[in-house]
Amino acid sequence: MIFLLLIYALIIIIIVPGLIKRNEWRELAVFSILYIIAFVLGLMYVLDIPIPSPMHGLQRLIVDVLGIKYPMQ
């Protein structure tokens, strides 16, 4: 947990001052969105909260709903 917080604090220290200095607000906004997603995922992983897999969702859609699959060998 502490390791995660340290890494994410370090990322802010490395990236954000440069973006503010160069007035790159759009870059800062996109960075912030991705940063929050990454941090939340990291936090969920550290706290053992189950993270849904996009591939399992996709499998349900393609195999179970649409019925597209190769026959079992």
For another protein, the binding residues (CB under 8 A) are: 7-8, 11, 14-15, 19, 24, 26-28, 30-31, 34-35, 37-39, 41-42, 44-45, 51, 53-56, 58-59, 62-63, 68-71, 73
* Shortest reach from residue 59's CB to another protein, in Å: 4
CA-wise closest residue to 4 among 37, 40, 32: 40
* Shortest reach from residue 26's CB to another protein, in Å: 6
CA distances from residue 37 to 11, 33, 56, 64 in whole angstroms, order as listed: 14, 6, 20, 29
Decide: 66 and 60 in contact? Cβ < 8 Å.
Answer: no
* Shortest reach from residue 11's CB to another protein, in Å: 5
